[in-house]
Amino acid sequence: MVSKILKSVITVLFLIYYGILDEVRSQAEDKIYLSNLDTQCLRCLCFAATGCNLTLGCVNGYCGPYKIGRIYWADAGKVILPEDDVDRSGAYEDCALSYQCAQKIIKNYLIKYARDCNNDGRVNCADYSMINFNGGYQCHPPLDRNEAGRKWLERYYSCYPRTPDSD
């Protein structure tokens, strides 16, 4: 009898212990953040990509309102919807098509590649916009070099008006 109770107590303690560890771990993950990657920036990166069109679907290998490609997704750590299986075909598409899940992909990618792409001495949303258009490895080429880039910039600045700090 006593040993049965003891067993349950130990089991419960175990569960609490690992529950707490999990909680601490997920809090630590939430604390990784980029300065300047705030709600407005995330929204404007979405706007720059597609006008933040949530019903675009997948077009030419790019999915969702942020136009996320499979390589970008993989590079960002293969974020998937809760309870999904990373090896399921469609896991990438379904995350990229979900606004919330896509934002996690974007965050991971930018945490990995954040840098001063326009050489203005700060790392902010304008740089993140360049990273998303150019890719993380070579983010420096100015966006106004081609038509797609000019359209991207136009949408970006219509969402994120230029201020002395935002460039």
Q: Which of 51, 69, 141, 149 binds ligand NAG (CB under 6 A)?
A: 51
Q: Is 56 in the site for ligand NAG (CB under 6 A)?
A: yes
**Residues near 152 by beta carbon (within 8 Å), at least 6 away in sequence:** 48, 49, 129, 133, 143
Which residue's CB is nearer to ligand NAG, number 37 or number 97? 97
Q: Give the type of residue at 89.
A: S
Judged by CB under 6 A, the chain residues 132 through 161 that form the site for ligand NAG are: none
Q: Is 26 in the site for ligand NAG (CB under 6 A)?
A: no
Question: How many CB atoms neighbour CB 121 within 10 A?
Answer: 6
Which residue's CB is nearer to ligand NAG, number 94 or number 116? 94
Q: Give the type of residue at 153.
A: L
Q: Is 40 in the site for ligand NAG (CB under 6 A)?
A: no
Q: Is 39 in the site for ligand NAG (CB under 6 A)?
A: no
The 3-state DSSP composition of the chain as helix, strand, coil percent (nearest 5) reads 55, 5, 40
Interacting residue ranges for ligand NAG, rule: CB under 6 A: 51, 53, 55-56
